[in-house]
Structure 1
Amino acid sequence: MLDSKICQKARLSRDPRFDGKFFTAVKTTGIYCRTICPVYPPKEKNVLYFPTAIEAANAGFRPCLRCRPDSAPGSPAWKGTNATLDRAIRLIDEGALQDGSLGKLADRLGITDRYLRRLFDKELGISPKSYALYQQCLFAKQLLHQTNLPIIQVAFASGFKSLRRFNDCFKAHLKLTPSQVRKKGQSASNILQLNLYYRPPYDWQSMQRFLAKRAIGKLEWCDESSYGRTFSWLGSQGHFTARHDSLKNCFIVTISLDDLSHLKAVVANIRRILDMNVDIQAIEADIESCIRPLFPLKSGLRLPGIWSSFEAGVRAILGQQISVAAAHELVRILVEKLGDSMGDNKVFPSPERLAESDLGFLKIPMSRKQTLRNLAQHYLDHKAPDDLSAWQTLSGIGPWTIDYVRMRGQSDPDVYLDSDLGVKNALKKYTTPINAYMAAPWRSYLTLQLWNQL
């Protein structure tokens, strides 16, 4: 339950650290806003507080056109409290219900569709399908605000199959029509620019150094203010560049994509790999007591992601028991030899290309080459290849590799890489042992703090 007195102080202060933690609805206007909304603050007697935008919408309020709640960082009020719910939300955000049924989603989660509906009703007060449609409408609203895409392309890019269905859902969920939101001219283009917001603090310098050290030429590019890369997604290809804007607490992201129907899932994955959805203050409050006797906490460290579990697995296998620099060179050679061209750049090799290659150009043991081919074949043979529990049966893949993929390929917040060489070297500096369990469920961020001590 939200404390109204705390919420009142937060909204009156307009502190960006509270952005997305709750939403303010005004009974006299029927509008709900972010805590940073620039309008004159309403009287407290006319205000209601909601932990999520969905709950405000379900209560009959429509989103503010000035502060645009669709742009707020993901609310942490429910996310992460239930592992199954968290994974279901991630899969829905990636489009699981746009191209598949609720039953198929439940099968991927290892539960029944009845239990999945009960879980959403208990935690969010809505059905999984209603959640998916609402998120599609919010994403469409963001595109209408920030791009010049024609409305019909906005509909398809948001996951709708028809313009009529899009118009009906948009009006039903947001109490507005697309044309009421759209004020700019329209032009058809597959190159878009979006502002993706996060909740501060965000240590971009540390994130940039981490990514730059591991960036693969022709696949990724990284300078002092931006990170970008090529990617593939369900048969489509594209590239993005995310430029950090510390004054606005956001990344200005330019995206080129050959199939806009995958845009929502692609944007969700960009947010994941740059760790924009997390409430970093809450995490740091939990892990500080764990590390305080040893070293001071480095505020704003974010979890650097890798585009896919498959890519993270390949990088982890190539990086087993060698230095970061040596692993970097092996990945560079692999991308150069097997990556499909995209202009002057390359896309990370597909499982098909990896499975059919003898990998003779890599100077690594034959057993490790076979491990790479086994992983690639696993992706070709299984419907849910990202289920890491099945990876344990693949020869050459041990606990460290799986944990590394969980941490960087799936952005699992609770992975403590105690067997990692960097973590071991960091701990050698201290005589007092660290109690990692005190940092749960945020042990991935504890790992980052230890890496930062090197």
Structure 2
Amino acid sequence: MHTETERCVRAVQSKDARFDGWFYTAVLTTGIYCRPSCPVVPPKVENMRFHPSAASAQQAGFRACKRCRPDASPGSPQWNERADLVARTMRLIADGVVDTDGVPGLAARLGYSVRQVERQLRAELGAGPLAIARAQRAQTARLLIETTTLPMGEVALAAGFASIRSFNDTVRSVFALTPTELRAKAKPVNTPATTLSVRLPFRAPLTPDNLFGHLVATGVPGVEEWRDGAYRRTLRLPHGPAVVALSPHPDHIAARLALSDLRDLSTAISRCRRLLDLDADPVAVDDQLATDPVLAPLVAKSPGRRVPRTADPEELAVRAVLGQQVSTAAARTHAARLVLEHGEPITDPEGGLTHLFPDPAALVDLDPDRLAMPATRKRTLTTVVRALADGEVDLGAGADWASTRERLLALPGVGPWTVETIAMRALGDPDAFLPTDLGIKAAAAALGLPTGASALTAHAQQWRPWRAYAVQYLWAAMDHAVNRMPVSP
């Protein structure tokens, strides 16, 4: 979008927050870059330059605005909507792959050479993977500086900087303040070093009832819970387990993170954002869906529905198999048994959560005879687990959606419903569709839509590329616990 100058200028002049994260405005006369909704008086048009990423603006020598904090704006929805190489690369960078595996490791996961990845990113985003990762490290450093009292040396290490010098230089160049000056302005309170509270921004509107309702109604005991107005769950992160509590507010999601290692902060935030689909563009989605007279009233009543996704794609795949042709309650029971027998115990500072959901390696040797389910589903579960453990099926942030669908469908017992559930919630495909789902069929019948899979799929062509969001509106049309905000015990 940054190449559409007139459209960008209109967004800046109207301070349109819908475009925050889509592009960044660099101001030649001040040397700063802003989000489109920056509250200051818009600069003259001839002094505006537009960048596709914060990293691009920083690389061009601009520093972040102290008023609108563009480095903390919602992420670009493109990286969740698209399935091409650049989008896959950006999802992996957000998940911390450059910090843990370097650019060669990033390229290896994508199946391309380092040179090809560099060229593609520079062509579209004006910056390479190292610069983009550097911008992410700068934001992580800012969070740690402003929300903890950690010594600056520990902040630098936790944010992923190789040295104190590069940490100081980056913070000063990006924010026009030294780390000490940033902390003095924020005045952080003394809290446990590995417990942080941050705000996760999103594009309005956001209707939270089905989003949190779904996560809580399907939550696995010991791994997930609803307490004091927050959805809490355990996370498996590169440097150790974590517990996160997420609660909705009118203009942000409050996240309270208890980490084993502060180096996992940016990865934890990225996974929470994906879990709650916070980088979606609800206006674009709802505008398209509302063109259907059947969906229009549902959209008007509760605009901004999100897709409840997952913080652990492999966990979601296992749970999708457990949920084949059974009730929500039965699926939770099966999952809870796996957790108790194979999950990794963790310590929850607030009590209530007890385990990480078992990863595929922990489930490879499970005894199918101990599973209270039909023999065919036992075989499906063990087959899927083995495929995930062996790397035959990739559900990671950089997965190729089309290839993953093909590999899943090739597994015995894995049909379209399971594949599309995984595509929608684990891969994040915004166009995944479940025409055979019982809830969708019931909603379709109640709304006068076709109930046959082929006929409903044909009708749903007009909802593309947002059919996963249409699924949320259809589910929400029915009276079910997944559609209601939970009540705290």
The alignment's TM-score, normalised by the length of structure 1, stands at 0.89
Task: Give the CA deviation at 1:261.
Answer: 1.7
What pairs up with 1:341-352 in 2 under 5 angstroms? 341-343=345-347, 344=351, 345-352=354-361
Pick from 422, 434, 456 the counterpart of residue 405 of structure 1.
422
**Using the alignment, how far apart are the partners of 2:239 and 2:128 within structure 1?**
30
Partner of 1:193: 197
Shift of 1:290: 4.0
Q: What is residue 382 of structure 2 aligned with on the other side?
A: 373
- Quote the Cα distance in structure 1 between the aligned partners of 2:101 and 2:322: 34
Q: Secondary structure at the match of 1:25?
A: strand
Structure 1 residue runs of 4 or more that deviate by more than 6 Å after TM superposition: none
Within-5 A mapping of 1:8-407: 10-11=11-12, 13-39=14-40, 41-42=42-43, 46-76=47-77, 80=81, 83-171=84-172, 176-183=177-184, 184=187, 189-222=193-226, 225-234=229-238, 236-246=240-250, 249-290=251-292, 292=294, 296-297=298-299, 298-343=302-347, 344=351, 345-382=354-391, 385-386=394-395, 388=404, 389-407=406-424
Residue aligned with 1:425, SS: helix
Contact 2:12 2:36 in 1 (8 A): yes
Deviation at 1:122, TM superposition (A): 1.5
- What is the distance in 2 between the residues matched to 1:256 and 1:9? 42
Query: What do residues 398-436 of structure 1 show as CA deviations (whole Å, max 9, x unaligned)?
Result: 332222112112222121112222222222232555532
Displacement, 1:11?
4.0
Per-residue CA deviations over 1:16-59 (Å, capped at 9, x if unaligned) read 43433433333332222234434455555644444432333233
User: What is residue 444 of structure 1 aligned with on the other side?
Assistant: 468
Decide whether aligned partners of structure 1 residues 201 and 223 sit closer, same or farther in structure 2, where only a CA change above 3 A counts: farther
Q: Distance in 2 between matches of 1:38 and 1:142?
A: 22
**Separation of aligned partners in 2, 1:141 and 1:286:** 37
Whole-Å separation in 1 of the counterparts to 2:439 and 2:180: 54
Segment drifting more, 381-390 vs 134-143: 381-390
Aligned to 1:100, what secondary structure does the other structure show? helix
Structure 1 residue 105, shift from structure 2 partner: 2.4
**Cα distance between partner residues in 2 of 1:186 and 1:300:** 34
Residues 417 and 434 in structure 2, CA contact (< 8 A), matched pair in contact too: yes
| Amino acid of the structure 1 residue aligned with 2:136 | Q
Once the two structures are TM-superposed, the CA of residue 178 in structure 1 deviates from its matched residue by 2.7
Contact 2:320 2:422 in 1 (8 A): yes
Structure 1's 152 and 359: CA in aligned 2 closer, same or farther, altered over 3 A? farther
User: Structure 2 CA distance, aligned partners of 1:110 and 1:76?
Assistant: 24
Instruction: Say whether the 8 Å CA contact 1:243–1:251 is kept in structure 2.
Output: yes
Q: Give 1:102 shift.
A: 3.0
> Residue type of the partner of 2:232?
G
- Structure-2 separation of matches of 1:156 and 1:374: 40
Identity over aligned pairs, percent: 35
Q: In structure 2, the residue corresponding to 1:320 is in which secondary structure?
A: coil
SS at match of 2:291: helix
State the 1:68 CA deviation. 1.4
CA contact (8 A) 1:70 1:142 kept: no
Aligned to 1:415: 432
Pairwise CA distance, 1:172: 5.1
Larger RCO: 1 or 2 (CA < 8 Å, sep 6+):
2
2:484 is matched with none
8 Å CA contact retained: 2:197, 2:255:
yes
Contact 2:232–2:245 (CA<8 Å) still a contact in 1? yes
1:213 deviates by 1.4
Deviation digits for residues 371-422 of structure 1, max 9, x if unmatched?
3233333333338742534444433223322221121122221211122222
RMSD: 2.9
Decide which moves more: 67-76 or 21-30: 21-30
AA partner of residue 354 (structure 1): L
Instruction: Indicate if the aligned counterparts of 1:108 and 1:384 stay in contact, CA closer than 8 A.
Output: no
Q: Does the 8 Å contact 2:146/2:188 carry over to 1?
A: no
State the shift of 1:162 in Å: 3.3
Q: Partner amino acid for 1:444?
A: A
Quick one: distance in 2 between partners of 1:382 and 1:78? 23
- Amino acid in structure 1 at the alignment position of 2:65: C
Deviation at 1:190, TM superposition (A): 0.7
AA at the equivalent of 1:362: L
Would you say the 8 A contact 1:208–1:224 is kept in 2?
no
* CA-to-aligned-CA distance 1:47-75 (integer Å, 9 cap, x gap): 44444323332332100223211211113
Q: 2:486: which partner in 1?
A: none
**Structure 2 unmatched ranges of 5 or more:** 479-489
Q: Is the 8 A contact 1:273 1:304 kept in 2?
A: yes
Identify if the C-alpha distance between structure 1 residues 145 and 37 changes in structure 2 by more than 3 Å, giving closer, same or farther: farther
Pair 1:205–1:167, CA change in 2 (3 A):
same
Task: Indicate conservation of the 8 Å contact 1:120/1:128, yes or no.
Answer: yes
Q: Distance in 1 between matches of 2:158 and 2:214?
A: 32
Where 1:239 maps in the other structure, the secondary structure is strand
User: How many Å separate the matches in 2 of 1:239 and 1:78?
Assistant: 26
CA distance in structure 2 between the partners assigned to 1:226 and 1:318 by the alignment: 26
Deviation of 1:369 after TM superposition, in Å, equals 2.5
CA distance in structure 1 between the aligned counterparts of 2:325 and 2:388, rounded to whole angstroms: 24
Q: Go from structure 1 to structure 2 and tell me whether the alpha carbon gap of 1:255 and 1:431 turns closer, same or farther (over 3 Å shift).
A: closer
* Amino acid paired to 2:380: T
